[in-house]
Amino acid sequence: MPRTPSMLRLIRRGAVAAVTLTLAVGVCAPVVGANAAPSPEATAATVADSRQDAYTQAAHEFGVPESLLLAVSYLETRWDVHAGQPSRAGGYGPMHLTDLEAAMSEPGGAAATGEVAELRGDSSRQARTPVTSPALRTVELAARLTGIDEARLRTDPTANVRGGAAVLAEYQRQIGAPSTDNAGEWYGATARYSGARDHASARAFADEAYSVLAEGARRTTDDGQVVALAADAVQPDRTWLGKLGLQEAEDGDVECPRSIGCEWIPAPYEDLGDGDYGNHDLADRPNSQQIRYIVIHDTEGAYETTLNLVQDPTYVSWHYTLRASDGHIAQHVKAKDAAWHAGNWYVNAKSIGLEHEGYAARGTWYTEAMYRTSAKLVAYLAKKYDIPLDRQHILGHDTVQGITPPFVQGMHWDPGPYWDWSHYFDLLDAPFENSGGPTSGAVTINPDFATNNPGFTGCENSPGPPGEGIPPQCGTWGSSALVLRTEPRADAPLLLDVGSNPPDGTSTMDVADIGSRAGAGQQFAVAETRGDWTAVWYLGQKGWFHNPRRSPTAVWTKAMVATPKAGKASIPVYGRAYPEAAAYPPDVPVQAIVPLQYALPAGQEYVVGMKADTEYYRAVTFDPTNHKVIRGSLVYYQIQFGHRVAYVMADDVTLTPSWR
């Protein structure tokens, strides 16, 4: 649809969020060597008593140091199998062997959903193109090396581990490195296993694998297998990286930590005529406005397609895009400038947006390599701009509020309930931990991701047709979300959300419905406890979630809470913290202070995330000399109101400690 200047104004101010991206793939890597005939030992069936045994046997069979094999696998998947579902990069099993053709054919994949599946980003052609990049076809290479059927390599964890070991050994052979027990000599093969096309990203992947090796790890996988890696501070020989023949990415003075692979792919700042321009606003942050938020998104499409979109001056923008296969990062907008990504202009003007290659509800999962580079980037930005590492400042797109009542329903819900917030904050070295006890008066949501499955419906790869009036389940995937109910029992109705689910507010278990959902890291004031159930205040209601003592789904928290001042039956909540009318100069139109369709009743308490800046960034012209920040004397507080944050005026509330 052609855009008009008025449409652009809506997008810019956050009235319209980014639309779903279409699928294309453009990840490539150095071509692997010629076909290798499988040895008799490699074609023999391998039986492993445990997942740990599978790594031991595969390492011995193919001459790969066991510790290195474990470290690479941990960096790819944390040793998980993800119920046979592929990652967004088309990787299967604990070794993340890639088969993008198969992944596209999965239920809910590109072929099944009718998306444009041209793999080089050419949307003018509808026919599918074979995947030729070796980085996207390591299942095929593993099959040649081991003699194992490709389908089995995708679905059998033991076979998958063997295949990964065979691929690592082949990469070691190709670069002429010795087949040795010294894990430090496998740096080049490890870097190639990432599939990265550029030197910096391959180096970052290999360095992270050796960091995993140095730290060691132990965990129970998503299919119940206990796997351990003993810490071993191996000195890697990085000279082998030069044997890969990788290119250097254009850094363009990127704002990234040096330890990760980043390149500069700028979003255009372009005058489109007739008062229209795109696709971001120039600013002078943090001198002009403090950066208060980092917003986590997913792309709902492929990395290359996402890059094409952000380089379109008629589209919207974000600051960074992260690639699933290796965690590579492209920066598009400088942190000093305001990108158009969150669907709320107040948040846009004060945030940095990160798009992660992936889908919120298609069964594909977010890769460990991407989690790790994202966490490194967020930690770097948070330190640089003094942003606290908590869920009040590190927002999901799904927790950004609509600006006014008409826009609440249309807000996005990515990265969705299958983004592992607890693991992400562990990587940020800011874990969700107890800061109090049962009398603390507040909780931080923190279910066990691997075992928590609320039973959401409506995912794009849901198997088979729904039953008699029952939508299909999303599967057995782990989740970071809990659902809230009106009473302390599993079959009680969900809470109402008149904003997200008008007109009657009825919430559902649909994966896109955030109306009665609490996510890991979000903090709520406790309203009541009964046995294994805890109730919190949520959207003006009391919402119950199962929180047994022996297997808690939340941790006790001390926090400041806001409650309506004495004498007020209820108070309004807002989607932005804008100044009062008197603060605007004559040449700037007053932005109305419009309450949302919710109310915060007397007697209820909500956790305060921060004192919000009362600001409006006026930026409606291509020439940034006309931009200005209007500040007022009103005082707002940000609260966790439902699944999303909201704002209340200080004059309406009393702040007290939750543990009083």
Instruction: Average the pLDDT over 535-560 and give the result.
Output: 97
pLDDT at position 251? 76
pLDDT at position 111? 46
Instruction: Average the pLDDT over 217-237 and give the result.
Output: 95
Share of the chain above pLDDT 90, in %: 81
Instruction: Average the pLDDT over 486-491 and give the result.
Output: 97
Higher pLDDT, 146 or 112: 146
pLDDT tens-digit series, residues 46-89 = 567 899 999 999 999 999 999 999 999 999 999 999 988 899 88
- With 60 as the cut, is the pLDDT of residue 118 above it? no
| pLDDT grade for 333, boundaries at 50, 70 and 90 | very high
pLDDT at position 466? 52
Classified as helix, coil or strand, 497 is: coil
- With 80 as the cut, is the pLDDT of residue 646 above it? yes
pLDDT tens-digit series, residues 246-296 = 988 777 789 999 999 999 999 999 999 999 999 999 999 999 999 999 999
- Sheet of 560-564, strands arranged across: 595-601, 570-574, 645-649, 636-640, 606-612, 560-564, 653-657
- With 70 as the cut, is the pLDDT of residue 115 above it? no
Instruction: Average the pLDDT over 178-195 and give the result.
Output: 97
Tell me if 419 sits within 8 A of 366, measured CB to CB. yes
- With 70 as the cut, is the pLDDT of residue 110 above it? no
Count of other CB atoms within 10 angstroms of residue 527: 18
Give DSSP secondary structure letters for 375-418.
HHHHHHHHHHHT--SSTTTEEEGGGSPPSSHHHHTT---TT-TT
pLDDT at position 134? 72
| Domain ranges across the chain | 40-99+137-244
- With 50 as the cut, is the pLDDT of residue 45 above it? no
Tokens of 223: 């299919």
Q: Name the helix (H) or strand (E) containing 5.
A: helix 5-13
| pLDDT grade for 471, boundaries at 50, 70 and 90 | low
Tokens of 327: 């965690």
pLDDT at position 530? 97
CA distance 392 to 294: 10
0.85 surpassed by pTM: yes
Count of other CB atoms within 10 angstroms of residue 399: 24
Four-point Cα dihedral 375, 377, 379, 381, nearest 10:
-150
Residues listed for the chain: 660
Instruction: Average the pLDDT over 116-127 and give the result.
Output: 29
Classified as helix, coil or strand, 507 is: coil
| pLDDT grade for 322, boundaries at 50, 70 and 90 | very high
CA distance 90 to 100: 4
| pLDDT grade for 470, boundaries at 50, 70 and 90 | low
Name the amino acid, one letter, at 458. Answer: G
pLDDT at position 540? 98
Per CATH, the number for 40-99+137-244 is 1.10.530
pLDDT tens-digit series, residues 345-398 = 999 999 999 999 999 998 889 999 999 999 999 999 999 999 999 999 999 999
Tell me if 270 sits within 8 A of 350, measured CB to CB. no
Classified as helix, coil or strand, 16 is: coil
pLDDT at position 225? 95
Count of other CB atoms within 10 angstroms of residue 466: 12
Instruction: Average the pLDDT over 450-475 and give the result.
Output: 74
Four-point Cα dihedral 402, 404, 409, 410, nearest 10:
-60
Task: Give the residue from 648, 656, 653 showing the smallest Cα distance to 572.
Answer: 648
Q: Name the helix (H) or strand (E) containing 113.
A: helix 110-113
pLDDT at position 106? 66
- With 60 as the cut, is the pLDDT of residue 166 above it? yes
Residues 6+ apart with CB under 8 A from 529: 438, 535
pLDDT at position 22? 32
CA distance 443 to 605: 12
pLDDT tens-digit series, residues 577-610 = 999 999 999 999 999 999 999 999 999 999 999 9
Tell me if 320 sits within 8 A of 373, measured CB to CB. no
pLDDT at position 132? 54
Tokens of 557: 């928290």
| pLDDT grade for 475, boundaries at 50, 70 and 90 | confident
pLDDT at position 572? 98
pLDDT at position 126? 32
Higher pLDDT, 332 or 115: 332
pLDDT tens-digit series, residues 1-42 = 333 333 444 444 454 333 333 323 333 333 333 344 444 444
Share of the chain above pLDDT 70, in %: 87
| pLDDT grade for 123, boundaries at 50, 70 and 90 | very low
Mean pLDDT of the chain: 89
According to DSSP, the β-strands at 217-220 and 226-229 are antiparallel
- Strand pairing partners for 92? 97
Instruction: Average the pLDDT over 189-201 and give the result.
Output: 95
